[in-house]
Structure 1
């Protein structure tokens, strides 16, 4: 997070501000999906899903090996 907190999977972390920045660094070359759940003080939950492709996957998808 923007304050240097490193998150562990499936744990809860309180947010002390309305806005926060989440940094993600993948150690994998596979396509990944991350689900982030945000819960308010009233127990209402919102789910946000993010999908990432590795650079190798993106290169495979470009026709004729075009690496722009």
Structure 2
């Protein structure tokens, strides 16, 4: 979870800077920094969970195959 939070902090800063540089508006940069990274952070967390499940299943299958031979 700490990796996700670290990613979120960096993402919020980048989103704010991109929004601010593109529009010159602190409000647009702030809104962009709140909405987009929040959605992306949730997606990243779910992505990590899916990949951990895939890796665990691969390891279980490898163990089962090793025992079968």
Q: TM-score, normalising length from structure 1?
A: 0.28
Which one has a larger percent strand, Structure 1 or Structure 2? 1
Which one has a larger percent helix, Structure 1 or Structure 2? 2
Structure showing greater Rg = 2
Q: TM-score, normalising length from structure 2?
A: 0.28
